[in-house]
Structure 1
Amino acid sequence: MPAGEPGWRGRLALRYRRDGERTIGVDRHDGPLRVLKRLYPEGPGTCHHVLVHPPGGIVGGDRLEIDIDVGENAHALVTTPGATRFYRSAGGLAAQELRARVAAGGRLEWLPLETIAYRGAIAVNRMRFELAAGAQMIGWDILALGLPASGERFTQGRFEQDLALPGAWLERGIVDPGDRLGELLLRSPLGWDGQSALFTLWCAGGSDWPAPLAEALLAAARERLQAAPDPGRCGATAPHPRVVVVRALADRVEALWPTLQAVRDDWRHLLWASEPASPRVWRT
């Protein structure tokens, strides 16, 4: 970090390539963001990377950048051992930006644990996934506002989220409880409906899904959602022939965590004939 410049700067580049039966993962970091572990619990074809941010949270002025490149026929799974925390800001913007590219035949699973926006946080979280024809991915984003278990609701601050799969799905949302429309968004049944956790899970391809596969992906997700604690606050849709999206609301992340994992397991089986395989850090 340059002298006199406030906030942490962290950059992490992840590169994956196929070498015979093995996916080789290489990382390069500048600043506090780095890889904790490289694991192969499913065998040599899938590289699991666990990312950590030793400072423990992101505050105003911090900027984290993650760049992922998945080569042809490589398979990468990227996760975290704990929540990403955006703390209260003294006025500066905290930012995390992810850009990922997946080549033909490549597979990416972007599966970080939840993002927690503390009351008073001023933050932006941007994600962009560029998929070549024949590439596929499963990703999720779990956004938790405030700390409701401690009685700390997200009553002030601003959180902006951008999610892009160019040419297929573009989304931008802003949560600002200090703004009248933002307050309505959090309370309205057309918005957050008074809940504090928003789950977004998607699978996407660089080419259109065959119609039978798209229907199977939707059906599998909807069956799991019907068994969720509050199925009325869950849904699955296909906003584009290349994308299937699940959305769900809850007041606690823990309430829907098993459902989210079950949908992901079903999609892996349908897409890649893969058996369930959760990263070990999720169980610690």
Structure 2
Amino acid sequence: MLSLDSFWEDTRKYWADLRSIGPVVIVTDGLRDGTAYYLTRREDMLEVLLDPNRYVRTAPSPTRRAVDLTRPLLRRREVNADMSSPLRERAAAAIDSVAVAVASGKAVMTSEIGSLFADHVFFAMTGISYREELPQAVSEHRTAFLSKLVDQAGNPIDDAEAVDLVEMLVLAGHEALAAAANNAVREFLVKPELYDELREGPQRVADFVDELVGTVSTTITRETTAAVTVAGVEIPAGSRVELCVGAPADGPGGRLDFGTGLHQCIGRHLSVLALTAFVQEWLTL
């Protein structure tokens, strides 16, 4: 496993410190006015994620219909077939525009690069640069993704609903995708040996992307609808429970960066493919 020393080591230490306290860490949060229960064991987090009746989301979540309409289009096979080439093209375009800006003497922040790439992922999905043009892109079936979204058999969907669904996906993933791309750029800038290592062993890009995902993992928040007991700790009804998704052992079998069960992130395959395309294109520089 490759190591992102500038970001990942501090994160690992933070999770390790939490794990050393116990499976349930009780934190008094002055900013959010209350007590939170941080869970650090994978088995406890899985129990929470798979029980949406006793542990409910605190933020708005996609409707069941929205998930049913978008999930089939964002499975690994469909994303690879429809989005691989567009994502590589948009990654190249984003990186080229940064190179042009730098060559002209403009100072470019790494945060700008990540945000720009996230915008280009939106372009790969829709074929447009500005969200104001989204209704027209939907009506014209501008990309394979939009065409499949609107023309799903057995699921009548009008253009207005399709626009709402695309907006939902963009808002859900833009910030985390931009942050992960930022971290990749920073890591390449401070560790040229990592850049060389990945160029010489491109098969290790998947490991690097997996760790990139870990650099933006924080917590998944739920609220209890009834009193529960987790690892011997009694948690009252109405309590905030924070799932420390990066705390378990490293690797896809340990961390729960994208959640699981009913509320698993529907854009996880798109996010991984997009980051892979970005890293692969950066390695061509």
TM-score range normalised by the length of the shorter chain: under 0.3
TM-score by length of 1: 0.22
Determine which structure has the larger strand proportion and give its number.
Answer: 1
Q: Higher relative CO (CA 8 A, sep ≥ 6), structure 1 or 2?
A: 2
More helix by share: 2
> Radius of gyration: which is bigger?
2
